[in-house]
A and B are shown apart, each in its own frame.
Chain A
Amino acid sequence: MDTINIRDLKPGMKNLNLTFIVLEVGAPNTTKEGHEVRTCKIGDKTATMNISVWDEAGTYLQQGDICRLIKGYASIWKGCLTLYTGKGGEIKKIGEFCMLFSEVPNMSEPNPELMSQIQSKLQPNNDIRNPALPPPSSAPALPMQSPTAAPPPKTKTKRDKRPARENL
């Protein structure tokens, strides 16, 4: 099974398998549909990032747990690269404590470079031959960070997938 390091993750990657150690478990937020969602900080030897854990799995995760994610995907949420469990994927605890990790870089920190890349892709009249037309640098991240803003199509489809998984 191919595994990937956190540092190599990019938005839009799918079918990801990786092993990580849980560093922080966030408080649960409840969605309108009643799902509990937790944002957890995870790390491996290359970097840290956030993973969004849904429902039951989240209630059992503890700091220091070593887990394996199968069939995950990476996407942008509120301007931050975030990892999700994909359709048919799962998080399994395989150990505790005995794993090294690197606190930096935190791949989920807002990354202006990444954002501007995505923005330029999203420009409807974006001309690929003219890459020297970056989005206004004043606040490149803003449209993505507002949860109310219509999310870029790519993220949108991803987000719609999650409830679909629950329906299985």
Chain B
Amino acid sequence: MDANKNALINKLLNLSPIEAKDEIDENLINGVSESEAHDTLTATVCKSPVAHEEVCLGLLISILVDSQNAARYYRDLTYVSRDGLAFVISSLNLIILERYTKLSESTRSQLLWLLREMIKTSINGTDSLVYNLLRQIAGGDISPKNIWLAESLLDLLIENRLWLEKFNILVTTVVYTYLRLIVDHGSTLLTNLRQKEIDFCVSLLRERFSDCMCIGRDLVRLLQNVARIPEFEQLWRDIYDNPSSLAPGFQGVHQLMTTRTSRKFLQCRLTPDMEKKIVYLTSQVKFGQQKRYQEWFQRQYLSTPESQSLRCDLIRFICGVIHPSNEVLCSDIIPRWAIIGWILSSCTSNVAASNAKLSLFYDWLFYDPEKDNIMNIEPAILVMFHSLRSHPVITVTLLDFLCRIMTNFHPPLNAQIKQGINTSFHQILEKRVLPPKLDRELRLLLRESFPEFCSQSNDLALMQGGDIIITRDSPDIIIDAPNSNHNSEPEPRFSDDEVEIISPKKTRSVKEIFNNCHDKSVNEILPKADFDSLIEQFNEDIKSSLLSLLHEKDNEIRCQAMEKFIQAALQEEDFEQENPYKLVLCLIYSLQDEFTRQVYPQTVPPDDEAFEESIGTPLFVMFRNLCQTAEEDPNRVPILNILAEMSSHRRSIGYLLLYFMKVSKFQDNRMSAYRDYVKTLGKDLMTALLSDLRVCQEEDVKILCYLLPDIYSCFHSTVVNNAELLNLIVSCIDSTQLQDLICYILQGDMIMFKKDSFLSLLNASLEWETFEQFCLWQLIAAHNIPMEYVLPILPKLEFQTHAEALTNILLLLKRETPSQEVMKHIVNRDVKESDSFVVSVLKYWTQEHCDKLADLISGYLMKPNSTGKRKRQTGIKAQLSQNAEQLLMHLDQLRQKSKTLSFFNHEAIQNALTHVQSLCTEVQKTRFSDLFALAEDYDPKPVAKRGKTTKSRGKSKQVEDSNSDTDASEEETIPSKSTKQPISRKKRKALVNSDSD
């Protein structure tokens, strides 16, 4: 019985031997055994519903496995069935959705045969079977099985056109499916199939256009991809010139483009298996853990050249169908933009890449907040935003594409498209797609990263939609007078608060955004009315100075007012009580413009005068006062109190104080004013520095870079090796700023690392973004960090996942001369086939330091096994140490990578190999047989001599056994050199002519 079952399973399904037969399969088979037993008794047995199902299933399976008698079984099935085959249809749907890929070829043919019969006998629900089977035709796959399914189904549909046309949804799905598949079937071998598909699609489109219109904008996308085919060219002409000839109410492209495509179309171009995996990836897998899943998916579906076209389907599916719940959005599940970024970066062909980008922005073009969903446009902006730091190229090409598509997509509709993209940006701002804080960060980054996109007013014209034309050939960007656009519609702007704001509506939204994360606006801290009443409480001096600070335009006068204010405040008797709070509120109100202006000089490069000027405003008068007050002066405390109080409303106080001290050169006594300020805040120094520098980084990276050398010298013991600070730095700098830092380092003005805890810093850096890690390694390279600080991290690094660190260590090693210490760490790395790290180092050294390396290796191999425990296993002679075996494995890998390497002919290596071979067990000998063969192949005469030398060495080794390891190997190398002298000269000439001694 069991054997019978297995035979059936094999006939029905194509399982590999390790695949478990799951429940569905088992049920199928149980059904069949039942039916065979009761073949003639069907009618009587089907009295109970369970028996009915079993018999139906049995007959169904019989049809699928037995093509000869299928007709008879089908006839029986129609007689026996009491539910119009509803149960059979649902079983078949299950088989098609869950099991199709595992069905054997004959079963698949039978399935198609059965569908034809069911259509012929007009069984209800057959359309759902065809629909599900259409989904099993994979996009971007021209394997014979997939082509077979596409063609068989197409033939079935052509034969049953009248039946098909009864089902509107099926008609549109068929059109959508085959329009998409035509693109995959461009090869000459598939010309026939392709022509059939073209004819069928065109004829359905023309005859059923009013149905097809419902597909919406993605119909246009698919039609564009086939537009060069003459039949479709004609169709396009009709769509442009005579739309109503296709369908009475049809008005043209615009109508299609403004119709959002239903999710079911976007879904139908993914096979159920692809869908299951993408859904799993976006709903279960944590961000950071997706790598393997992506690799698996890529290997299965995205690895062939023809699979390029599948990327569009995936992106459309992710944008349009995968709409994670708020719970998922707030969790650490991988966000959609990250998956899209991966898909985009896996595009290798230009056509596919530009189609993929179009798919990503497709819902932007005619975005209508009423009809469209913000979730459809969200991934694109997030990919751009999040790639900005780590993969700026992606962001640039996407922005470039967006600007280009605006004018090129369909020129007659340019105005609408511009409008659509503008609306998209509007929605993104309004719905807070980008976190407000990040929004500001994005702006700064954009401004720094793409200065060419920004107009001179420092204002991002880029985001003003439509004003930029980029031509592929010229790097220059022409910006059309942007203001001409602003009169009609408020443009979405990523504008800064210091930039004048055009429409009142906009003012509000920008303010709203900023209130969230940044300092509260002056009006919120202290409304004007409150200021007017508060200020009356102070004495005349304070009041007048505050008012002149607020109203005066002249900087000189304001600074004097500030001076007056401080003196007055210090003299105030009850200053210590509740006044400072109110006083500070009023002061912030009066100084409001101080906190929004650009402090760092705009001239490039800034000269001393510019720096001096930058600290010439009232706020800095206060800092100057603090610094000039001697440490023991009681007046210092109230000023510190005022600053501390101000810092709770204005986060920039801390770094501005540091900036002031650097520019005014008050920092000579180790920035004591700042240290006191931190003490007043009640914070510890590192926390305060980090939070101040973080604010500084957000507001002006230039100031951060300017401050760094002094931070590292004045607070050396606190900040050196601090991973968090370093990450803060490398996360925001660009290449010029990195260059500046490296210049500081080379000039000896800045030391960022020390030996202690250097490893833990390296460890922490492994989690950083690629660019951040590269910056770190550049900074490391700029210091003279000895190799031995770095090497201990080697065993931890994985070749695949820690490419940044390994690459840089590789480059550092390239400059090193091999030494025992270095060798020890390198050899300790595990030998893996996919890991070329050790091989690369060794091979490079064989070219550069041949003799030295050979001596080291031989020393390593000949080193006596010094583990005392070994002696426990008496009766076993000297053995290969584990390290030596590891090295042999590396050498073997080196041998495989470079078969003709003359390095193995080196005297020292030959000796060592012969020596080691004698220590090996049989298993090891077999394992390294190829490697040892290199020693055996060697000229027989020297072998004899070598035998002698080995022996004598063996003796010397025994003598040295008691010595420490290093001694042994060092002493060893010397005699070996001297003994080989006479032989080697001859040999080198004969065998290795690359050496020059």
Contact = CB atoms under 8 A, between A and B. Distances in A.
Given A56-B18, A146-B882, 7 more contacts: A27-B833, A60-B19, A64-B293, A67-B18, A93-B18, A97-B297, A149-B879
Given A97-B277, A143-B872, A148 B879 contact: yes
A11 interface: no
Interface stretch (B50-58, B585-593, B775-783, B862-870): B862-870
B292 interface: yes
A68 interface: yes
Given A93-B16, A98-B276, A149 B873 contact: yes
B764 to A, nearest CB: 16
A101 to B, nearest CB: 8
A142 B869 contact: yes
A98 B284 contact: yes
A152 B18 CA distance: 33
B412 to A, nearest CB: 45
A105 interface: no
Interface residues of B, number: 37
A125 B277 CA distance: 56
Given A27-B833, A93-B19, A139 B869 contact: yes
A91 B867 CA distance: 40
Interface string A55-67: 0110011011001
A150 interface: yes
4 closest cross-chain pairs (CB), A and B: A148-B921, A64-B296, A92-B20, A98-B280
A86 to B, nearest CB: 16
A132 B885 CA distance: 32
Contacts of A149: 873, 876, 879
Contacts of B124: none
A136 interface: yes
Interface string B879-905: 111100100000000000000000000
B22 interface: yes
B128 interface: no
B970 interface: no
A147 to B, nearest CB: 6
B228 to A, nearest CB: 37
A100 interface: yes
Given A68-B20, A91-B18, A92-B20, A103 B289 contact: yes
Given A93-B16, A94-B20, A100 B285 contact: yes
Interface of A: 23, 27, 56-57, 60-61, 63-64, 67-68, 91-94, 96-98, 100, 103, 135-136, 138-139, 142-143, 145-150
A162 to B, nearest CB: 15
A131 B295 CA distance: 48
Contacts of B284: 98, 100
Contacts of B986: none
7 contacts: A23-B292, A91-B18, A93-B16, A94-B20, A100-B286, A135-B869, A145-B882
Given A146-B879, A147-B924, A136 B869 contact: yes
Contacts of A23: 292
Contacts of B867: 138-139, 142-143
Contact of B277 (A67, A98, A100): A98
Nearest to A140: B869
Contacts of A150: 873, 876
A143 B17 contact: no
B189 interface: no
A12 B563 CA distance: 81
Contact of A92 (B19, B833, B869): B19
A163 B727 CA distance: 54
Contacts of B472: none
Contacts of A98: 276-277, 280, 284
Contacts of B882: 139, 142, 145-146
B299 interface: yes
B1 interface: no
Interface in B287-326: 289, 292-293, 295-297, 299-300
Given A143-B872, A146-B880, A148-B923, A97 B293 contact: yes
Contacts of A146: 879-880, 882, 885
A89 B872 CA distance: 36
Contacts, number: 86
Given A93-B19, A94-B22, A149-B879, A143 B869 contact: yes
A121 B921 CA distance: 26
A61 B18 contact: yes
A149 B924 CA distance: 12
Contact of B20 (A27, A56, A93, A135): A93
Nearest to B277: A97
Given A142-B867, A142-B882, A146-B880, A60 B280 contact: no
B159 to A, nearest CB: 35
A97 B873 contact: no
B277 A60 contact: no
B294 to A, nearest CB: 11
Contacts of A68: 20
B256 to A, nearest CB: 36
Given A60-B18, A97-B280, A136-B869, A147 B879 contact: no
Contacts of B280: 97-98
A150 B285 CA distance: 44
Interface string B849-879: 0000000000000000001111011001001
Contacts of A60: 16-19
Contacts of A97: 276-277, 280, 293, 296-297
A67 B284 CA distance: 19
Contacts of A147: 921, 923-924
Contacts of A93: 16, 18-20
Nearest to A139: B867
Contacts of B16: 60, 93
B885 A63 contact: no
A142 B262 CA distance: 64
B443 to A, nearest CB: 37
Contacts of B285: 100
Nearest to B882: A145
A23 B876 CA distance: 39
Contacts of A92: 18-20
A148 B20 CA distance: 38
Nearest to A100: B284
B302 to A, nearest CB: 14
Nearest to A98: B280
A94 B102 CA distance: 13
A138 B867 CA distance: 8
Contacts of B18: 56-57, 60-61, 67, 91-93
B515 to A, nearest CB: 39
Contact of A63 (B289, B295, B869): B295
Contacts of B17: 56-57, 60
B21 to A, nearest CB: 9
Most interface-central of B276, B292, B295, B300 (chain A CB within 10 A): B292
B112 to A, nearest CB: 26
A135 B869 CA distance: 9
A17 to B, nearest CB: 13
A68 B300 CA distance: 22
B801 to A, nearest CB: 9
Q: Pick the most buried of A63, A94, A139, A145: most chain B CB atoms within 10 A of its CB.
A: A139
Nearest to B921: A148
A61 B16 CA distance: 10
For B19, B873, B882, which residue has the most chain A Cβ atoms within 10 angstroms?
A: B882
B873 A143 contact: yes
Nearest to A123: B872
A134 to B, nearest CB: 12
A150 B873 CA distance: 8
B271 to A, nearest CB: 13
Contacts of B292: 23, 63-64
Nearest to A23: B292
Q: Which of B18, B833, B876, B885 is most buried by chain A, counting CB atoms within 10 A of its CB? A: B18
Contacts of B881: 142
